[in-house]
C-alpha cells in the first residue's frame, strides 16, 4: 500500500481542514497526465492502490484523496452534520457547495504544491477528475457550484483540468426517484441490521450476469446477487479489506445519501443538471464530462446510466446548451474490477481479454491513457 500524505487547507475561511491523500509521484518529465480519484461509500482511497505502481508505465500520475469524514481527513463538525441531516434545501445546497469547493481547493493545492503539468497545446488535459460510485456526489458538486468559487480558483483550473469522469454512479446520486420494486440492502426493511454488512458486500462485489441489457428494461436486471455468480470479496483477506475501508461515515454522514432520504433529492437533481447543462453563469464550460459504467455491475448503476443518457438525449433534441458529454461502457466488468479489486479469475464476457487480477489495473490505465486520449 502507498503511504498516506496530508494537505491542510483553509477553504472559504472556514478554518484549517486536513485531507489525507495518496500520490503515485511524478513519472518523470513535465509532459505526463494526472488522474485525481475521489472514492465512494465505505471504501476509501486505498481501494485504488494497485494502480499506483503501474502509473508511470502509462506516463500517468495518480492522486486519490479521502473525502471529509473518512480516515485521515477532517471529520465533519456537529454544525456540518446538522446541515446535512436537515430538511432545508438551501442548507443542504450550502453543505454540498462546500464539499465541491473542497475538491476545487484540493486540486489547486495539488497543482501548485506537486507542480502538476498544464494542458498540452492540443487541449488534452493535464489533469482529469474521476469520481467513483458515491464519490461522484462530491465531484458533481464541484462542477455544479463552480461559478460561485473564487475567480483565482477557476482561473487555475481552466489551465489544467480537462475532464470529469462519472464512474459507476447509481441513479439516486443523480436525484432520480427509485423505480417500482427497487431493492438495496442498505435500505431494505427485509435485511436485519446484523446481516447488512455481509449482504452489502455481496451486493456490490458480484459480477452480475444480467439476462439482457439491450432493451434497457428494469425487469432484465438482477436486483440481488444470484446464487453462484462470481464475486470478488472472497479473494481478499480481512486485513486487505480493512486497509481500504472505513465504516464510520456510513451512519454518521452518508446515510443521508441513501435512496430513502428524500430531502436531498432535489439538491442532487440540480447537481446532475448543472454538471451537464450550461447557462450564462457557467464556468469550465468546455470540460469534457464522461459517464462510464460496467455491464456486470449493480442494477442501481445500470439504471442510473440508462435514465441519465435518456434525459441527456432529450436535452440534445431540445437544443439545450451543454458541456461535451459521452456515455461509455466496460463490457463484462463489475463495480470493482476496473478499480483494481478483481478476483484471480476471468471476468465474464470481458472485452479486456484479461485472465488474472494483476492485468486489470493495467487495462484500467490503458482505458484512461489510450482510449480516452489522456496520455502524451
How far lies 324's CA from each of 139, 234, 290, in Å? 17, 40, 8
**Distance in angstroms (rounded) separating the CA atoms of residues 252 and 256:** 9
Distance CA 53, CA 241 (A): 19
- For the chain, the domains span 5-371
Contacts of 197 (CB under 8 A, 6+ apart): 247
DSSP 31-81: --EEEEEE--SSB-GGGGGGGGGGGGGGTEEEEEEPPTTSTTSPPPPHHHH
pTM (two decimals)? 0.90
| Residue 227 CB burial class (10 angstroms; 0-12, 13-18, ≥19) | exposed
Residue 272 near residue 175 (C-beta atoms within 8 A): yes
Superfamily of domain 5-371: Alpha/Beta hydrolase fold, catalytic domain (3.40.50.1820)
Q: List C-alpha distances in Å: 39 to 168, 175, 245.
A: 11, 19, 11
Residue 330 phi/psi, 5-degree rounding, is -110, 105
Q: Which of 329, 287, 288, 324 is nearest to 305 (CA)?
A: 329
Stated as kind and residue range, the H or E segment containing 198 is: helix 196-205
Per this entry, what is the length of the chain? 376
With 0-12 CB in 10 A as exposed, 13-18 as middle and 19+ as buried, what is 248? middle
pLDDT, tens digit only, all 376 positions of the chain: 789 999 999 998 888 999 999 999 999 988 899 999 999 999 999 988 878 888 898 889 999 999 999 999 999 999 999 999 999 999 999 999 999 999 999 999 999 999 999 987 776 769 999 999 999 999 999 999 999 999 999 999 999 999 999 999 999 999 999 998 888 777 765 654 555 667 777 788 888 889 999 999 999 999 988 776 565 565 567 787 888 899 999 889 998 888 667 899 999 999 999 999 998 888 999 999 999 998 989 999 999 999 999 999 999 999 999 999 999 998 888 887 544 433 333 333 444 333 222 235 666 676 666 544 543 3
pLDDT at 226: 77
User: Do residues 19 and 102 make contact, with C-beta atoms less than 8 angstroms apart?
Assistant: yes
For 93, 171, 213, 334, 367, the CA distances from 331, given in Å and listed in that order, are 35, 19, 11, 9, 12
Nearest Cα to 183, choosing from 218, 158, 216, 153?
A: 218
Ramachandran class of 276: left when φ > 0, alpha when ψ lies in -120 to 50, beta otherwise:
alpha
Amino acid at each position: 500500500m502507498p503511504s498516506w500524505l496530508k494537505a491542510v487547507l483553509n477553504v472559504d475561511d472556514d478554518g484549517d481542514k486536513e485531507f489525507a491523500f495518496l500520490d503515485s509521484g511524478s513519472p518523470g518529465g513535465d509532459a505526463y497526465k494526472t488522474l485525481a480519484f475521489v472514492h465512494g461509500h465505505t471504501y476509501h482511497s486505498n481501494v485504488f492502490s494497485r494502480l499506483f505502481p503501474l502509473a508511470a508505465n502509462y506516463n500517468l500520475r495518480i492522486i486519490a484523496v479521502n473525502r471529509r469524514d473518512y480516515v485521515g481527513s477532517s471529520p465533519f463538525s456537529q454544525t456540518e452534520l446538522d446541515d446535512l441531516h436537515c430538511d432545508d434545501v438551501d442548507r443542504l445546497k450550502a453543505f454540498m457547495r462546500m464539499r465541491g469547493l473542497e475538491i476545487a481547493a484540493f486540486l489547486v493545492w495539488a497543482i501548485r504544491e506537486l507542480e502538476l503539468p498544464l494542458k498540452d497545446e492540443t487541449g488534452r488535459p493535464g489533469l482529469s477528475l474521476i469520481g467513483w460510485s458515491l464519490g461522484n456526489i462530491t465531484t458533481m458538486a464541484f462542477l455544479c457550484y463552480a461559478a460561485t468559487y473564487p475567480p483565482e480558483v477557476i482561473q487555475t483550473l481552466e489551465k489544467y483540468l480537462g475532464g470529469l469522469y462519472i464512474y459507476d454512479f447509481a441513479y439516486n446520486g443523480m436525484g432520480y426517484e427509485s423505480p417500482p420494486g427497487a431493492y438495496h440492502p442498505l435500505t431494505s426493511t427485509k435485511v436485519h441490521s446484523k446481516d447488512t454488512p455481509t449482504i452489502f458486500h455481496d451486493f456490490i462485489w458480484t459480477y452480475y450476469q444480467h439476462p439482457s441489457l439491450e432493451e434497457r428494461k428494469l425487469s432484465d436486471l438482477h436486483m440481488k446477487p444470484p446464487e453462484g455468480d462470481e464475486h470478488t470479496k472472497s479473494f481478499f483477506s480481512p486485513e486487505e479489506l480493512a486497509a481500504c475501508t472505513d465504516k464510520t461515515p456510513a451512519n454518521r454522514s452518508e446515510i443521508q445519501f441513501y435512496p430513502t432520504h428524500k430531502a436531498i433529492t432535489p439538491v442532487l437533481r440540480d447537481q446532475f443538471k448543472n454538471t451537464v447543462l450550461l447557462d450564462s453563469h457557467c464556468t469550465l464550460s468546455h470540460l469534457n464530462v464522461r459517464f462510464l459504467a460496467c455491464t456486470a455491475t449493480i442494477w442501481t448503476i445500470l439504471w442510473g446510466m440508462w435514465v441519465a443518457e435518456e434525459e441527456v438525449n432529450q436535452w440534445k433534441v431540445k437544443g439545450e446548451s451543454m458541456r461535451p458529454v459521452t456515455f461509455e461502457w466496460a463490457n463484462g466488468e463489475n463495480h470493482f474490477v476496473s478499480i483494481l479489486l478483481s478476483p484471480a479469475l476471468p471476468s465474464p464476457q470481458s472485452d479486456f481479454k484479461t485472465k488474472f487480477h494483476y492485468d486489470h489495473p493495467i487495462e484500467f490505465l490503458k482505458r484512461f491513457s489510450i482510449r480516452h486520449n489522456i496520455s502524451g
